Chains A and B, each alone.
Chain A
Amino acid sequence: MNLENIELIRIGVYGTSILLILIGLYAVLTKKSLIKIVIGLSIIDGGIHLLLIGIGYIKDGTAPIFSPGMEGAADRMVDPVPQALVLTAIVIGFGVTAVALSLIIRLYRHHNTLKIDEIKNLKW
């Protein structure tokens, strides 16, 4: 693996995750439908998780698991700390999505629409 390939992987991983965060932010800021806003929040979540995992990557790294045959490979293992943090973040993201969807169900029952510009109570 030569230098250009490593650069390419780095730009690919960071670039993709930053792009995902931007796409999600665009959806949250411009879309009118509440469901699409929640989808945008989930896309931001995915981008942040990918960015954190990408920071922990090392060249030719293996999973941080000491399975049989890998006991001596500690210096080739990727950083386990971002992986543990991302596992936490996925669960929190799930909770946020569930609560947001339940609030949307309530709003829909009350106003019979999902468009935020038709819900007059939100205007001030």
Chain B
Amino acid sequence: MKKTIVIILLAAFGYFMATTFLDPEFEKHRNQNGVKNGYLEKTVSELKSANTVTSIIVSFRGFDTLGEVTVLFLAASALGSVLFKKRHHVGERSILLPASSIVSTGAKLLFPAIILLGVYVFIHGHLTPGGGFQGGTIIATGFLLMLIAYRNFSISHNVLSVIESLAGILFVVIGLLGFMNGGTFLQNFMPTGSLNNLFSGGIIPIIYILVGFKVATELTGLIYTILHEKG
């Protein structure tokens, strides 16, 4: 009975969504000189950053990204406060079985390569697809592999929070430096270099490296908290 009502409601909802998006009129007016061309043009002429998505996230909508990083920090602290324990006993974990020797040997081999790939992805965020969020997530998967493979692998929460806070503070400081150079928050104040060069894009690579560190430490802390949860 309940399922029938739900299916009828969802069918009505789906019908209205489909008629909206599959309307030929919607298709006709979809790509009419929106903000797209302005962003594409300004990315090349002002910022000299090859990846338009990166320059929107870090420069044109940099304030938005600061809020996004804050939401991630809020999620990490909410999870920490919900799963709070007075003491962590490393090694007596309840949910993990001991890993086989194939997994632990392979993890030791792969861990440096995963960290290197993550660092590459967030340093080249303004040239290739990728950036701080993606690179940080790759680094966190490396730590996840080590935590699964070695039961005694432990990470200091203090070191993680120091790196995380430092990255966040430096993000805001770089944003405020824009005011001192006569502009707005997160205004570019460094030489932009030439297109498709590693040293190009002004403050974009610096901010994305900071975001990469922040995301990597936050996600590692999240994984560590959940894996060490004991009832």
Q: Are B14 and A18 in contact, with the CB atoms below 8 A?
A: yes
Q: Are A66 and B44 in contact, with the CB atoms below 8 A?
A: yes
**Nearest residue, chain B, Cβ from A73:** B40
Give residues of chain B (19-34) contacting chain A, Cβ–Cβ below 8 Å. Answer: 21-22, 27, 30-31, 34
**Nearest residue, chain A, Cβ from B15:** A18
State the interface size on chain A (CB cutoff 8 A). Answer: 45
Task: Render A31-59 as a binary contact track against B, CB cut-off 8 A, 1 for contact.
Answer: 00000000000000000000100010010
Give Cα A83–Cα B2 distance, bound, in whole angstroms: 38
Note all chain A residues with C-beta closer than 8 A to B83: 102, 105-106
Task: Render B29-55 as a binary contact track against A, CB cut-off 8 A, 1 for contact.
Answer: 011001111011101100000111100
Interface residues on B, range: 35 or more
**Nearest residue, chain B, Cβ from A69:** B196
Give Cα A88–Cα B57 distance, bound, in whole angstroms: 9
**Contact among B75, B128, B195 for A99, CB-based, below 8 A:** B75
Note all chain B residues with C-beta closer than 8 A to A94: 72, 75
Q: How far is the CB of B67 from chain A (nearest CB, A)?
A: 9
Q: Are A79 and B34 in contact, with the CB atoms below 8 A?
A: yes
Please tell me if B87 contacts chain A, counting CB pairs below 8 Å. no
- Since A84-B53, A101-B226 are in contact, a sample of 20 more A-B pairs with Cβ atoms closer than 8 Å, ordered by chain A residue number, is A10-B22, A10-B27, A18-B18, A29-B6, A51-B21, A66-B43, A66-B44, A66-B52, A80-B36, A84-B57, A91-B133, A92-B68, A92-B71, A98-B79, A98-B226, A99-B79, A99-B82, A102-B79, A105-B82, A105-B226
Residues of A within 8 A of B (CB): 10-11, 14-15, 18-19, 21-22, 25-26, 29-30, 51, 55, 58, 63-68, 71, 74, 77, 79-81, 83-84, 87-88, 90-92, 94-96, 98-99, 101-103, 105-106, 109
What would be 27 A-B contacts, judged by CB atoms less than 8 Å apart?
A15-B18, A22-B10, A25-B13, A26-B10, A30-B2, A63-B129, A64-B40, A64-B52, A65-B51, A65-B129, A67-B50, A77-B52, A80-B36, A81-B36, A81-B56, A84-B53, A84-B56, A88-B57, A88-B65, A92-B71, A94-B72, A95-B72, A101-B226, A102-B78, A102-B79, A102-B83, A105-B83
